[in-house]
Amino acid sequence: MERRTIGAAALGVGAIGLGCMPMSWAYSASEQSGEESLRTVHAALDRGMTLLDTADMYGPFTNELLIGRVLKERREDAFVSTKCGLLVGEQHIVANGRPGYVKRACDASLRRLQTDFIDLYQLHRADPEVPVEETWGAMAELVSEGKVRALGFSAVGARADHRNRPVTTGSGIHAATIRQLERVQGVFPVSGVQAELAVWSREALDSLLPWCVSHGVGFMAAMPLGNGYLTGTLTPGGGFETDDVRARHPRFTAEMMAANQPVVAGLRRVAERHGEVTPAQVALAWLLAQGREVVPLPGTKKERRVAENAAAADLALTPADMAELDALPAAQGSWE
Ligand SMILES: NC(=O)c1ccc[n+]([C@@H]2O[C@H](COP(=O)([O-])OP(=O)(O)OC[C@H]3O[C@@H](n4cnc5c(N)ncnc54)[C@H](OP(=O)(O)O)[C@@H]3O)[C@@H](O)[C@H]2O)c1
């Protein structure tokens, strides 16, 4: 697979990474199987999808434990990107950016991941009670201690929210993230930024991705498949299990899923022009074409998806394809 670099530290990764969240978090637990997840991670590494994106809050903790079982066997094949700063409580997710907490969280992640270093350590969300420079300073100390190779921001301007509602990006969020990025750059260089970017949610193209390009920072596209919608495999009105975030997600009501079908139709039209290509592959190829800083993180817990998602790196979209995809409507039904 083509290689791309993550930021100032110039760390090489496969152009497409693996979002590990669906293995342990956010989507229905009924389909989660530790054994299949392990096979999925191995299959991704075999295909050069080296960036494994996890977080201590996914599970919580079980996602890192799972990744740790793979890293124990093949640490040198993987680029581990994990996150700290969000705690899952009974009712709410809360941010904690206190320096002492961040240091302890890193040590705990290292133990769960069964490794002695993390390639990219990201602040999941900023803590409104702690100046972000203080949190970032503690993270920078982790780099000097050799526990972490590079630092990243994950949609830091976004707020922490109730566990049964999406915790993500949205309009106005990117401006807040950029203000915080500017503040921490003076403390220690940012290597990676992670935020939502997909063909139906392109807000990051206006300011956040250009900021990354101008500062030599890698951009990891979260939710690149629109939480599964852009693959064309979800049926409007099909419903979701109650523990699946999409059951309460404004974009996934039967009405909005029907209203957003023109986006899937557009992906399908482009896919059909390329022969044996799927809408998911077109959605990922569109992201790769946004610039060499972009590394999409398609999430899956299913081994059989890996070959399909990895092959998107070989799909060359034409200028006409790109124009058609750029003209598709934005998602109806916001996260907010
Ligand atoms: N920093 C943040 O705040 C933040 C927020 C959200 C996500 N993320 C990161 O971004 C990653 C990606 O986001 P995401 O996983 O929520 O959304 P996504 O990648 O847009 O979509 C994931 C969904 O698509 C399905 N899927 C994947 N490949 C498919 C294919 N080829 N055909 C059909 N269905 C397919 C998966 O189902 P199956 O599992 O059944 O295949 C899963 O339900 C996460 O895993 C996480 O690492 C970060």
**Across the chain, which distance is largest between two alpha carbons, in Å?**
54
pLDDT at 162 over 60: no
- The answer to whether residue 30 is domain-embedded is yes
Report the pLDDT value the prediction gives residue 287, as an integer from 0 to 100.
98
Report the pLDDT value the prediction gives residue 168, as an integer from 0 to 100.
47
Report the pLDDT value the prediction gives residue 7, as an integer from 0 to 100.
84
Beta strands 79-84; 51-53: pairing state: parallel
Give the pLDDT confidence of 172-201 residue by residue, as tens digits: 678 888 999 999 999 999 999 999 999 999
pLDDT at 258 over 90: yes
Residues with CB under 6 A from ligand 1: 19-22, 26-27, 53, 154-155, 168, 194, 222-228, 231, 233, 280, 297-302, 305, 308-309
Residue 160 Cα distances to 85, 157, 180, angstroms = 10, 10, 16
In the reported structure, the alpha carbon of residue 100 is separated from the centroid of ligand 1 by a whole-number distance in angstroms of: 32
Annotation says 229 is catalytic: no
Q: Domain residues for 283?
A: 3-326
pLDDT confidence of 171, banded at 50, 70, 90? low
- The answer to whether residue 40 is domain-embedded is yes
Q: Which of 35-44, 135-144, 165-174, 195-204 has the lowest mean pLDDT?
A: 165-174
In the reported structure, the alpha carbon of residue 216 is separated from the centroid of ligand 1 by a whole-number distance in angstroms of: 26
- The answer to whether residue 334 is domain-embedded is no
Report the pLDDT value the prediction gives residue 164, as an integer from 0 to 100.
34
Report the pLDDT value the prediction gives residue 208, as an integer from 0 to 100.
94
Domains contained in the chain, number: 1
- The answer to whether residue 335 is domain-embedded is no
Which residue's alpha carbon is nearest to atom 7 within ligand 1? Answer: 222
Residue 169 Cα distances to 95, 156, 159, 264, 298, angstroms = 15, 9, 8, 22, 17
In the reported structure, the alpha carbon of residue 205 is separated from the centroid of ligand 1 by a whole-number distance in angstroms of: 20
Q: Name every residue whose Cβ is closer than 8 Å to that of residue 299 and which is 6 or more positions away in sequence.
A: 18, 19, 20, 21, 22, 223, 225
In the reported structure, the alpha carbon of residue 298 is separated from the centroid of ligand 1 by a whole-number distance in angstroms of: 5
Mutate to test the pocket of ligand 1, among 305, 306, 309, 315 (most ligand atoms within 8 A of CB): 305
- The answer to whether residue 333 is domain-embedded is no
- The answer to whether residue 210 is domain-embedded is yes
User: What is the rounded CA–CA span in Å between residue 47 and residue 177?
Assistant: 33
Task: Tell which phi-psi region holds residue 236, choosing left (phi > 0), alpha (psi between -120 and 50) or beta.
Answer: beta
Give the pLDDT confidence of 269-278 residue by residue, as tens digits: 999 999 999 9
Per the residue annotation, which of 27, 58, 121, 229 is the catalytic one?
A: 58
Phi, psi of 219, rounded to the nearest 5 degrees: -120, 115
Report the pLDDT value the prediction gives residue 30, as an integer from 0 to 100.
82
Higher pLDDT, 262 or 7: 262
User: What is the rounded CA–CA span in Å between residue 242 and residue 250?
Assistant: 14
- The answer to whether residue 118 is domain-embedded is yes
Q: What is the CATH number of the domain that holds 81?
A: 3.20.20.100
- The answer to whether residue 127 is domain-embedded is yes
Give the pLDDT confidence of 76-131 residue by residue, as tens digits: 999 999 999 999 987 788 899 999 999 999 999 999 999 999 999 999 998 989 99
Beta strands 11-14; 3-6: pairing state: antiparallel
| Mean pLDDT over the full length of the chain | 92
Give the pLDDT confidence of 204-245 residue by residue, as tens digits: 999 999 999 999 999 999 999 999 999 999 988 778 999 898
Instruction: Express as a percent the part of the chain with pLDDT over 90.
Output: 80
Per DSSP, the three-state class of 292 is: coil
The ligand 1 atom at the shortest distance from the C-alpha of residue 55 is 47
Which residue's alpha carbon is nearest to atom 15 within ligand 1? Answer: 299
